[in-house]
Amino acid sequence: MNDSEKIDISVDIAGIKMKNPVMVASGTFGYGAEYSEFIDIDQLGAIVVKGICLDAWDGNKPSRMVEVPGGLVNAIGLQGPGVKGFDEKYMPFLRQHDVPVIVNIWGRSLEEYGEVAAAFENMEGVSGLELNISCPNVKEGGIAFGTNPTMTADVVAHVRKKTSLPLIVKLSPNVPNIVEFAKIAEAEGSDALSLINTLPAMVIDIETRKPVLSNVVGGLSGSAIHPVAVKLVWEAAKAVKIPIIGMGGIMRTEDAIEFMVAGASAVAVGTANFIDPEISLNVIEGISAYMQKHGMSSVSELTGSVLV
Amino acid sequence: MKIENTKILKHSHLVGDYRLLVLDAPEISVQAVPGQFVHVRIPQLEGSALRRPFSLYRAEGATISILYKVIGRGTAALATAGEGSFLDVMGPFGNGFPIPDADIMPILVAGGYGVAPLYFLATRCSQKGVLFVGGATDLDILCIEDFKSIGWDVRVATMDGSLGTKGLVTDVLDAWLKDNSDRDDYSPAGQEIFACGPDGMLKALGDRTIAGGFNGWLSLDKHMGCGVGACLACVQRLRDEYNHDYWGRVCKDGPVFESRQIVWE
Ligand SMILES: Cc1cc2nc3c(=O)[nH]c(=O)nc-3n(C[C@H](O)[C@H](O)[C@H](O)COP(=O)(O)OP(=O)(O)OC[C@H]3O[C@@H](n4cnc5c(N)ncnc54)[C@H](O)[C@@H]3O)c2cc1C
Ligand SMILES: Cc1cc2nc3c(=O)[nH]c(=O)nc-3n(C[C@H](O)[C@H](O)[C@H](O)COP(=O)(O)O)c2cc1C
Ligand code: FES
């Protein structure tokens, strides 16, 4: 055993005990099984599965993804199996694993958000819910809830009443003042915050003069959004007491550490999984090595250590 | 399925915009079946660039080969990778072609680089069949000597007539199918189409297999993110056994589908 393995980098986020602060972001890791042939998924801090609503959902027509400098723009449109399909198809595999499973949920109305949250109340093997009020790729629901303060307050309060599971609200970066939304989510009972979801974006093919994505617009992820995300995490972390999960363009250990220094208690790797499935494990090792080098013995020493 | 850091053993120009890449990839090679693909990280691109999918053209011993066309920035960058350097390759991915039973007449139909997985298939068939290959010009017609050297019948069509018959590959195929169906011992169940190429060609072939009552195994080409079934970028409208439509993943559920599974838009 080398020294870096002795460091305890476990964290407790919203009551979910994680071996380390490195999670995988919703929509970028399927339902865990897809990547289990490449890495030992039990080593992850947590797995956040692809967004799920009450019933099976078709998603958008292709084309759904396009590469751009510094990342990609996607408009998958939350294709998913619904609560029942998820339980039957994907939970049996996840239950055999020793890693917290966080379900990313969405709805088209306040009531639907509540119903889908309630549906997980007694599902064995689910450690928490991540409330997606920030998806730019569906016509109803999604980002509409995340960009209006009253609607954000209503949906968080409603879902809070429907679930006893740890609740993580995933905020939209597409607001003028993130602090306002972070405080609303905290006040209405959110146990933690995820920041950020993708940034609304568009790509046009100049030869055909048509948008590349069938949905016309999509969400930008990857390196390009990392500095934007760091700034939002930093602002939100100063304003709330609940822990923050930082995400957006983590491509290397340094990016993850930057989030933590800015104020995140944990991080999630997204788009980078597509390019290098081993990246989250490398980031876990990298965080240990960094803490050791800087004489830190707990992740909390890293969180919010920015000197401004 | 593996992630392998593979050494480039050979990297050469073939014809036109097409290139051949031979990699030392023992773990991928042993698992590979025809119709599967590998997902390649292009070292010359920035770190956030997506991988590029390429069909396996050969898998022999410890090596795998791919045959690719330079069409954009990724393949242009790949073309500069030197022999002896290393490439990060994931695979083999997807469901390949079923190997036809010995009493089936395999009819292979390729457009452009679609010939690559079909050659791999031909090498795994115990019988000899026929290859129809089409392209814009003679510079898009690849590997025909490969097929001839293993005793396959090769029929070529080019749009400009620079090689083989002038016109569409399906025109040449139709004439052949007609002749074949006139034979006394003809039975639709005795032949199957295996194809890889542009969507228009695949749809035309699928229509023929459905009308003619025989199987058509079509390999689709879709833009991909993860390549492993996680991102849902590469979807194609499919029909399940209960006749329900859904968006299936070309990377994981395909890239090869039987023509009756596919719902064309
Ligand atoms: C299963 C499968 C097998 C393939 N096999 C081969 C092969 O054997 N030989 C070969 O030459 N090509 C093959 N292709 C196509 C090959 O992946 C593309 O030509 C390549 O990705 C183009 O990259 P680029 O950066 O040069 O093009 P750009 O247009 O600059 O790429 C931009 C983005 O679009 C994607 N893209 C562009 N064209 C295609 C395409 N036709 N298919 C999929 N993605 C595309 C790229 O991957 C990239 O993400 C295959 C594709 C699939 C899905
Ligand atoms: C293909 C794709 C699908 C996504 N699907 C979801 C989703 O279902 N629910 C959600 O809350 N976020 C989703 N996201 C957003 C990511 O979870 C993450 O917040 C965002 O991509 C920023 O991180 P990154 O830059 O590391 O990818 C998706 C992102 C991508 C690229
Ligand atoms: S490329 Fe990600 S699901 Fe097929």
Per-block mean pLDDT, blocks of 10 residues, chain B (265 long): 94 95 97 98 94 98 97 97 97 97 96 96 96 95 94 96 95 94 90 96 97 97 97 97 95 97 94
- CB spacing of B48 vs A224 below 8 angstroms: yes
> Roughly how many angstroms between the first and final C-alpha of chain A, as a whole number?
37
* C-alpha B168: how far from chain center: 18
DSSP assignment of B179-222 equals: HHHTSTT--GGGEEEEEES-HHHHHHHHHHHHHHTSEEEEE---
Enumerate the residues of chain B whose CB falls inside 8 A of the CB of residue A35: 228, 230
Cis link prior to B255 (omega < 30° from 0)? yes
Q: How many structural domains comprise chain B?
A: 2
Q: Compute the CA torsion angle A147, A148, A154, A158 (nearest 10 deg).
A: -20
Among A118-127, A138-147, A148-157, whose mean pLDDT is lowest? A138-147
> Cis peptide before A297, with omega less than 30 degrees from 0?
no
A264 and A244 Cβ atoms separated by less than 8 Å? yes
Q: Is the CB of A137 under 6 A from ligand 2?
A: no
CA dist., res. A38 & res. A35, Å (int): 5
Residues 6+ apart with CB under 8 A from B103: B190
CATH number for position B26: 2.40.30.10
Q: Is A53 a catalytic residue?
A: no
pLDDT surpassing 90 at residue A24: yes
> Which among A29, A64, A222 is the nearest to B230, CB-wise?
A29
The phi and psi torsions of A207 (rounded to 5 degrees) equal: -75, -45
Q: Please answer yes or no on whether B235 and A278 come within 8 Å at the CB atom.
A: no
Q: Which atom of ligand 3 is nearest to the CA of B227?
A: 1
CATH number 3.40.50.300 given to A3-301: no
Based on the fold, state whether residues B31 and B136 are members of the same structural domain. no
Among all bound ligands, the one having the nearest atom to the CA of A50 is 2
- Measured CA to CA, the distance from residue B153 to residue B185 in angstroms comes to 20
Task: Name the closest ligand to CA B91.
Answer: 1
Q: Residue B121 — φ and ψ, nearest 5°?
A: -65, -45
User: What spacing in Å lies between the alpha carbon of B53 and ligand 1's midpoint?
Assistant: 6
Give yes or no for residue A296 having a pLDDT over 90: yes
Average pLDDT, chain A: 95
CB atoms B48 and A273 under 8 Å: no
Is A96 exposed, middle or buried (CB count within 10 Å of its CB: 0-12, 13-18, 19+)? exposed
Q: Do B47 and A223 touch (CB under 8 A)?
A: yes
Identity (one letter) of the amino acid at B22? V
Among B40, B59, B93, the domain-final residue is B93
Determine the pLDDT at residue A190. Answer: 98
Asked whether the beta carbons of residue A30 and residue B246 sit closer than 8 angstroms, the reply is no
**pLDDT-based confidence at residue A143 (cuts at 50, 70, 90):** confident
Nearest CA in chain A to B245: A58
Interface of A with B in 160-199 (CB under 8 A): none
CATH number of the domain enclosing B115: 3.40.50.80
Least Cα distance to B75 among B112, B34, B119, B128 occurs for B112
Check residue A141 and give its pLDDT: 63
Are residues B133 and B210 part of one domain? yes
Per-residue pLDDT, A105: 96
For residue A226, the CA-to-ligand 2 centroid distance in Å is 13
pLDDT digits (tens, 9 = 90+) for B226-257: 999 999 999 999 999 899 999 999 999 999 99
* B176-209 residues labelled b (16+ CB within 10 A) or e (exposed): ebeeeeeeeeeeeeebbbbbbbebebbebbbebb
User: In terms of pLDDT, which residue wins out, A142 or A166?
Assistant: A166
Which is catalytic among the residues A49, A72, A135, A143? A135
pLDDT above 70 (res A3): no
pLDDT class for A140, splitting at 50, 70, 90? low
Distance A61 CA to ligand 3 centre (A): 14
A-B CB pairs within 8 A amount to 97
User: Coil, strand or helix: which one is A62?
Assistant: coil
Stretch 238-267 of chain A: residues touching chain B, C-beta under 8 Å: 249, 251-252
Is the model's pLDDT at A72 over the cut of 70?
yes
Amino acid occupying residue B103? D
What is the model's pLDDT at position B61?
A: 95
Atom of ligand 1 nearest to the CA of B224: 44
Our CA-based measurement puts residue A154 at a distance from the nearest CA of chain B, in whole angstroms, of 30
- Amino acid identity for residue A269 in this structure: V
- Name residue B67's beta-bridge partners: B20
Q: Rounded mean pLDDT of A146-154?
A: 92
Please determine, for residue A137, whether its predicted confidence score (pLDDT) is greater than 70.
no
What is the rounded average pLDDT of the residues A68-95? 97
> Is the same domain home to B89 and B113?
no
What amino acid occupies position B111?
A: G
Closest residue by Cα to atom 31, ligand 2, is A271
Q: Which domain holds residue B117?
A: 105-219
Say yes or no to pLDDT of A217 above 70: yes
Q: What confidence score (pLDDT) does residue A138 get?
A: 63
B177 and B203 together in one domain: yes
Q: Which residue has the tokens 């954009």?
A: B72
Q: Which atom of ligand 2 sits closest to the CA of residue A226?
A: 25
Residues B213 and B113 in one domain: yes
Longest alpha-carbon distance in chain B: 60
Q: Is A285's pLDDT higher than 60? A: yes
* Chain B positions with Cβ closer than 8 Å to A: 1, 3, 41, 46-51, 88, 90, 222-223, 225-236, 246-247, 252, 265
Q: Cα–Cα distance between A226 and A247 in angstroms, integer?
A: 8
CB A273 within 8 A of CB B226: yes
* B231 CB within 6 A, ligand 2: yes
Q: Length of chain B, please?
A: 265
Both tokens assigned to A230? 């760091």
Helix (H, G, I), strand (E, B) or coil at A233: helix
CA dist A220 and A172 (Å) reads: 12
Residue B173 lies in a domain: yes
Do B118 and B184 lie in a common domain? yes
Beta bridge partners of A48: A102
Instruction: Please report, for chain A, the start and end positions of each structural domain, with discontinuous segments joined by +.
Output: 3-301
Q: How confident is the model at residue A7 (pLDDT cuts 50, 70, 90)?
A: confident
Q: Do A38 and B231 touch (CB under 8 A)?
A: no
Band (pLDDT 50/70/90 cuts) for residue A4 is: very low
Q: Residue B47: inside a domain, yes or no?
A: yes
For residue A80, the ligand closest to its alpha carbon is: 2
SS3 A101: strand
Say yes or no: B40 and B118 in one domain. no
Please list every residue in chain A whose beta carbon sits closer than 8 Å to the beta carbon of residue B48.
70-72, 222-224, 249, 251, 271-272, 275
